[in-house]
A and B are shown apart, each in its own frame.
Chain A
Amino acid sequence: MWGQVYKPILLVAMTFHLILVTLSAFYIPISDELPGKRIIDLYRRASGANSTYGFFAPSLGGKTRAVVDIIEDNGRTIVDLPLVKNAGREVDIRLGSLSDEFIRKDEASDETRKQLAASLAAATFSNHPNAKEVMLRIQEFWPISMDEYRRGLRAHWQDYYAARFARTDDHNSIGAQP
């Protein structure tokens, strides 16, 4: 009896859910004028129905990484340190997403970059109490084509963004130097 009543409702709910999944999967936007759009959006996020599935598609772009150079109080310089020591692959993927934030081109990108760089520098200072200066570098790697490789070209990491931070003694805070 229970089933006879709820089966049509479940079928409708399932169809609705799979329609939302399909719309997101094929990048079909839902009109803002649709009644209940906000609730639908919330449901899509909660259920994962807002996901897209284009992994490595349609093409593979560049890869980014964040490295830091440190100048210690005694003048010793350590270069090309990773943000997180002994990061495994799972952590490394997430750090890659973090450094990808620097190459996003949106309206607030400049301000966001500065804030994010300062935040990463602050974390580096707290991990290295002897550090006097921290230089954060976001590097980008653009793979070359097979044809370019055969012609002798080689790809390498290139600095995309750099910011230097120094520990200020007066307030024990960090200040960015232009």
Chain B
Amino acid sequence: MTTLAVSPFRLWTPLSYSIHAFFFKPAKPLPLAALRIGVSCILLVQAFLIRPSFFAFFAPSGLVQKEVGSVLQEPSMLNLAWAVEFLKACTGLSENLVLTGFGLSYVLSLCFLLGGLFTRRSAFFTWLLHWSFANTGFCGSYGADMYAHLFLFYFMWIPCGNALSLDRFFGRASGEPSFQARLGLRVLQLHMCISYLASGLEKASGTQWWNGEVMWRALTTPGYSISDFHWLAAVPVLPMVSGIVVMVVEIFYCVMVWPQKTRLLWVVATCALHLGIAIFLRLHIFGLLMCIPTIALFAISFEPVNLNDQRQKKLSRYAMHDLHAFYKRL
């Protein structure tokens, strides 16, 4: 009697090979470096834009005074209030001067991160200060800050300083393809897929995205709108189609961004969606920040040019040709 049972080990081997190839095959760190540079640039611009209201948001005597801030914020979370108090007591400097010091440290660490100088350490300090500022006073964090926080967290672990960096220039980092680069890239790619899927499905669960009301409301609410979009009420099909397109782009992002054939289309569609948000809803920082991961993680090649692979393909082509000629002769 013939046994048809397949050994689980025989199934596991190709699966483990696929997992290994997907997560650990050496990859170039270039996309991670591009993400690092893009995010750092946007955060520097954001810091510049917030600069005039810095004390209003973060100083203990600003818009939200220290006592009220502690009610609004999670008290157990890391914040700069205690550090300001401590340094004020130790050095006799004013609160505003100490806060200015922290603000300049944040900008400086962002500059180091942008240039890729002591990348991991600067990523750590940027992440720490960014998180601390988010829990100090009242900074009114929104989507852009949330994404910035998670990218900065990733920058501490992934080899984002191994390309296009001063660390690489000074020989402190290797620009060689590594399994760490691919793993970092895969985590970020999967994270983006999860976030778009969740965002798209949540949108699809409400009626406003299906009948175009959300587009209409966003474009006609003061503060968001750049122009008078009330004319859209006469052509309701336009906001309706736009809403559905947004849901399609977000929900199918996790599927369509992987195959070579649809990748470029989805990268362009996603960037167009975010540029639309940046322009029409005046969410400039958020819109631009969200274009960067899709371009960096999916549009920039990370596969190392392997001469051996190319030679192998050529050889196998010749071998097939020889084999064919041999059979013909026979």
Q: Nearest Cβ in chain B — how far from A19, in angstroms?
A: 10
Segment of A29-37, A70-78, A85-93, A161-169 engaged in the interface with chain B: A85-93
Provide the bound-state CA to CA distance between A54 and B216, in Å: 18
The 8 Å CB contact of A63, one of B23, B203, B222, is B222
Q: Nearest Cβ in chain A — how far from B11, in angstroms?
A: 18
The 8 Å CB contact of A51, one of B71, B138, B150, B216, is B150
The answer, yes or no, to whether B212 is at the interface (CB within 8 Å) is: yes
In chain A, what residue has the closest Cβ to B71?
Answer: A112
The 8 Å CB contact of B208, one of A60, A101, A120, is A60
Q: Which 10 A-B pairs have the closest CB atoms?
A: A58-B206, A48-B150, A94-B140, A97-B140, A25-B198, A54-B202, A143-B217, A57-B202, A53-B199, A90-B49
Flag if A96 contacts B202 (CB, 8 Å). no
Task: Say whether, besides A58-B202, A98-B63, A116-B68, A48 and B153 are in contact (CB < 8 Å).
Answer: yes
> Which one of A26, A88, A120 has the greatest number of beta carbons of chain B within 10 Å?
A88
| Chain A residues with CB below 8 A from B222, complex form | 63, 141, 157
Task: Say whether, besides A86-B52, A89-B282, A116-B68, A51 and B146 are in contact (CB < 8 Å).
Answer: yes
The answer, yes or no, to whether B291 is at the interface (CB within 8 Å) is: no
Interface residues on A, range: 35 or more
Segment of B33-41, B92-100, B169-177, B229-237 engaged in the interface with chain A: B229-237
| Chain B residues with CB below 8 A from A122, complex form | 65
Flag if A108 contacts B71 (CB, 8 Å). yes
The 8 Å CB contact of B194, one of A11, A21, A145, A157, is A21
B interface residues, how many (CB within 8 angstroms): 74
Q: Nearest Cβ in chain B — how far from A124, in angstroms?
A: 9
The answer, yes or no, to whether A178 is at the interface (CB within 8 Å) is: no
The answer, yes or no, to whether B241 is at the interface (CB within 8 Å) is: no
Can you sample 22 A-B contacts with CB below 8 Å? A7-B20, A14-B183, A18-B187, A25-B197, A47-B153, A48-B149, A48-B153, A51-B146, A53-B196, A53-B199, A55-B143, A57-B199, A57-B205, A58-B205, A60-B208, A63-B223, A97-B141, A97-B142, A112-B71, A115-B68, A119-B65, A149-B220
Provide the bound-state CA to CA distance between A14 and B19, in Å: 13
| Chain A residues with CB below 8 A from B315, complex form | none
Interface SS, B side: helix
| Chain A residues with CB below 8 A from B68, complex form | 112, 115-116, 118-119
The answer, yes or no, to whether B323 is at the interface (CB within 8 Å) is: no
Provide the bound-state CA to CA distance between A48 and B152, in Å: 9
Provide the bound-state CA to CA distance between A55 and B68, in Å: 27
Given contacts A92-B223, A94-B142, A145-B217, 18 further A-B contacts (CB under 8 A): A18-B194, A21-B195, A22-B194, A25-B198, A48-B149, A48-B150, A56-B214, A57-B199, A57-B209, A59-B206, A94-B50, A96-B223, A112-B68, A112-B71, A116-B68, A118-B68, A119-B65, A123-B62
Task: Say whether, besides A49-B150, A57-B205, A63-B221, A123 and B141 are in contact (CB < 8 Å).
Answer: no
Flag if B150 contacts A58 (CB, 8 Å). no
Q: Nearest Cβ in chain B — how far from A68, in angstroms?
A: 11
Q: Nearest Cβ in chain B — how far from A22, in angstroms?
A: 5
Flag if A90 contacts B212 (CB, 8 Å). no
| Chain B residues with CB below 8 A from A157, complex form | 222
Provide the bound-state CA to CA distance between A26 and B197, in Å: 9
In chain A, what residue has the closest Cβ to B47?
Answer: A90
